[in-house]
A and B are shown apart, each in its own frame.
Chain A
Amino acid sequence: MRGTYFKLRNSYLIYIMNSIIDLVYLVPLFPLIGFLINGLGRNNLSKSLSGIIGSGVILASFIVSLLIFNETRAEGFTATTVNLFEFINVAGLNIPFAFQIDQLSALFLLIITGVGFLIHVYSTSYMHEEAPQHFARYFAYLNLFVFSMLLLVLGANYLIMFIGWEGVGLCSYLLIGYWFKNNEYGNAARKAFVMNRIGDLGFLLGLFFIIQQFGSLTYIDVFSQAQGAGTSILTVITLLLFVGAMGKSAQIPLYTWLPDAMAGPTPVSALIHAATMVTAGIYMIARSNILYTLAPVSQTVVAVIGLATAILAATIALKQNDIKKVLAYSTVSQLGYMFLGLGVGAYTGAVFHVMTHAFFKALLFLGAGSVIHAMHHEQDIRKMGGLAKKLPVTHWTFLAGCIAIAGIPPFSGFFSKDEILVHAFAANPVYYIIGLAGALMTAFYMFRLYAMTFRGTFRGTHEQEHPRLNDAVGQDLHESPWQMTMPLVVLAVLAIVAGFVGIPELFAADAHKLEHYLAPVFAASTDIAEAHHVSHETEYTLLAVSITLIVVSILYALNRFSKKPETGEAEGFGKILANKWYVDELYNNIITKPLNGFGIFANRFIEKSGIDGLVNGVGKTVQWGGRQLRLLQSGQVGNYVLWMVLGILIFFVLAITILNK
Chain B
Amino acid sequence: MPINYYIFLAIALFSIGVAGVLTRRNAIIIFMCVELMLNAVNLLLVAFSKMHYENVVVFNPASPVGTEAQLFVFFIMVVAAAEVSVGLAIIVMMYRNIHSVDVNFLNRLKH
Interfacial residues, chain A to chain B (CB-CB below 8 A): 633-638, 641-642, 645
Contact = CB atoms under 8 A, between A and B. Distances in A.
Contacts of B22: 638, 641-642, 645
Contact of A634 (B21, B25, B107): B107
A634 B108 CA distance: 10
What 7 pairs between A and B have smallest CB-CB spacing?
Answer: A635-B110, A635-B107, A637-B103, A637-B106, A636-B104, A642-B22, A641-B21
A183 B106 CA distance: 70
B106 to A, nearest CB: 5
B11 to A, nearest CB: 12
A547 to B, nearest CB: 101
B99 to A, nearest CB: 18
- Report whether over half of chain B's contact residues are helix, strand or loop; otherwise say mixed: helix
A142 B104 CA distance: 80
Given A641-B21, A641-B22, A645-B18, A636 B103 contact: yes
Interface in B3-62: 18, 21-22, 25
B82 interface: no
A262 B22 CA distance: 86
A638 B103 CA distance: 7
- Report whether over half of chain A's contact residues are helix, strand or loop; otherwise say mixed: helix
B85 to A, nearest CB: 21
B104 A638 contact: yes
Contacts of A642: 22
A346 B56 CA distance: 105
Contacts of B111: 635
Contacts of A634: 107, 110
B110 A638 contact: no
25 contacts: A633-B110, A634-B107, A634-B110, A635-B106, A635-B107, A635-B108, A635-B109, A635-B110, A635-B111, A636-B103, A636-B104, A636-B107, A637-B103, A637-B104, A637-B106, A637-B107, A638-B22, A638-B25, A638-B103, A638-B104, A641-B21, A641-B22, A642-B22, A645-B18, A645-B22
Contacts of A638: 22, 25, 103-104
A155 to B, nearest CB: 68
Contacts of B18: 645
Contacts of A641: 21-22
Given A635-B108, A637-B106, 13 more contacts: A633-B110, A635-B107, A635-B109, A635-B110, A636-B103, A637-B103, A637-B104, A637-B107, A638-B22, A638-B103, A641-B22, A645-B18, A645-B22
A635 B107 CA distance: 4
Interface in B88-111: 103-104, 106-111
Contacts of B109: 635
A39 B25 CA distance: 79
Contacts of A636: 103-104, 107
A348 to B, nearest CB: 88
A637 B106 CA distance: 7
Contacts of B107: 634-637
Of A633, A636, A637, A642, most B-chain CB atoms within 10 Å = A637
Contacts of B103: 636-638
B97 to A, nearest CB: 16
Nearest to B110: A635
A642 B18 CA distance: 9
A636 B104 CA distance: 5
A463 B110 CA distance: 87
A633 B110 CA distance: 8
Nearest to A645: B18
Contacts of A635: 106-111
Contacts of B108: 635
A633 B103 CA distance: 15
Contacts of A645: 18, 22
Contacts of B106: 635, 637
Nearest to B106: A637
